Amino acid sequence: MRRGITLAELMVMVAIVAIVMAVTIPRMAALRDWIAVNTAAQDVTTALAVAQNAAVMQGTRARAVIAADSLRIDRWQGDTWGDLLRWPGPGERGVTLEVSNPVVVFDAIGLAWGVSNTKVVLRRGTRSETITVSRLGRVKRW
């Protein structure tokens, strides 16, 4: 009766594990990129929705400030902007940010102020997401 494994069997097992890891590790990187970009896109759309909701519910202007290091929501308090909420931005997840208008202001009925749509592009690795906000306050994710 033989106990244990031979050196040849051990080498075959190590080779099989190495092949499996060589195939799965690149796919794991793509999965991590997808998760990071998806989460960052959810954070940005949530910030826009919360800012719009705050404007409508409080009957005043509210703004979402979109930056790589933070997402911030402020409300108009008579003569100045006051902090309402803040959380980490896409940069915390290694996601790059391109935004046409980093400040989106909503009025008391939920319409976005400004002369054009706001476009937010989030990228990491080969994965990217685009979010647009119309002047009517509609948020669309591509």
| Top-level class of domain 7-141 | alpha beta
49-58, 108-117, 130-139: range with highest mean pLDDT: 49-58
* Tokens matching residue 74: 């402020």
Kindly report, residue by residue over 92-130, the tens digit of the pLDDT.
Answer: 999 999 999 999 999 999 998 876 789 999 999 989 999
Domain ranges (residues) in the chain: 7-141
Q: Which helix (H) or strand (E) holds 69?
A: none
* Tokens matching residue 6: 């031979």
pLDDT category at 26 given cuts 50, 70, 90 is confident
More confident position, 23 or 68: 68
Q: What is this structure's pTM?
A: 0.81
Q: CA triplet 66, 38, 125: central angle to 5 degrees? A: 95
CB proximity list for 18: less than 8 A, separation 6 or greater? none
Mean pLDDT over each residue of the chain, to the nearest integer: 92
pLDDT of residue 114: 72
The residue-averaged pLDDT of 1-30 equals 88
